[in-house]
Amino acid sequence: MVTGANSGLGLVTTRELARVGARVVMAVRDVAKGERAARSAPGNVEVRHLDLADLSSVRSFAAEWEGDLDVLINNAGVMAIPRATTADGFEMQFGTNHLGHFALTNLLLPHLTDRVVTVSSGEHRRGTMHFEDLNWATDYQPWPAYRQSKLANLLFVLELQRRLTEAGSSVRSLAAHPGYAATNLQSHSGKPLMDAFMKVGNKVLAQSDENGALPSLFAASQDLPGASYVGPDGPLEMRGKPALVGRTAKASDPEAAKRLWTISSELTGVTSGLTRVRA
């Protein structure tokens, strides 16, 4: 399953997995757009509605899932957008990029057989967890809010793996980031000058979305240790071939990871799916 699969990295990931024989479920907010995108993917592809910015949608999606799920790729995300809130009142970037995937993963854990891959960003390096105001109720800043959500992704991966190991499960939690990849993620800042700058960057500096999807595909298919983080091997991890990469001390803090998990469970009302996860 790939979230946010109707364009960019998610669509490339879907195409490549389907090309090698996987049955892929495209979990998308816009089903019509998803159906159009699915026609470009070879093999066995199915489109299902999922709005990560609405926890009722996440719950409905998970409740309708039947059977095994080998790999979940938490790919969907929003970046550096004007202040907005989810259906449940969370800041949109934190709510979509982290809380939506937190809830989805835990609700689907009883079905998972192999691994969860969560897509973060090199921007996590400049991120800080504002635990006293995770929803940016005061002094909202688009880029710091985005960086917090990407740091949250890595803390989630860390704590999920700790819990999986503690439960004796063979399911693995991994992370990936695409480097600087040309996608439409960079065109929703609400600031024409910023959007124009990033559009130029996509053409001049960024690697293709095909190359940007390689770390996710690597993390989804290779025999890697739990909590591994995959990104491009080039300068500043901006582009290159997929390889294991490092993360900041903030992204490796087990106490912060536990704290974020507890808060996320309280905010979403979703308790750990590990009580029913497979060994």
Active site residues: 146
Neighbours of 131 (CB within 10 A): 11
If you write DSSP's letter for every residue of 79-101 in order, what string do you get?
-SPPS-B-TTS-BHHIIIIIIIH
Q: Which two tokens stand for residue 238?
A: 């901006």
* Nearest alpha carbon to residue 98 among 109, 86, 83: 86
If you write DSSP's letter for every residue of the chain in order, what string do you get?
-EESTTSHHHHHHHHHHHHTT--EEEEES-HHHHHHHHTTS-SSEEEEE--TT-HHHHHHHHHT--S-EEEEEE-----SPPS-B-TTS-BHHIIIIIIIHHHHHHHHGGGEEEEEEEE--GGGGG----TT-TT--SS--HHHHHHHHHHHHHHHHHHHHHHHHHTT---EEEEE---SB--GGGG-SS-HHHHHHHHHHHHHTPBPHHHHTHHHHHHHHS---TT-EEEE-SGGGSSSSEEE----SGGG-HHHHHHHHHHHHHHH----GGGG---
Cα separation, 272 vs 105, whole angstroms: 9
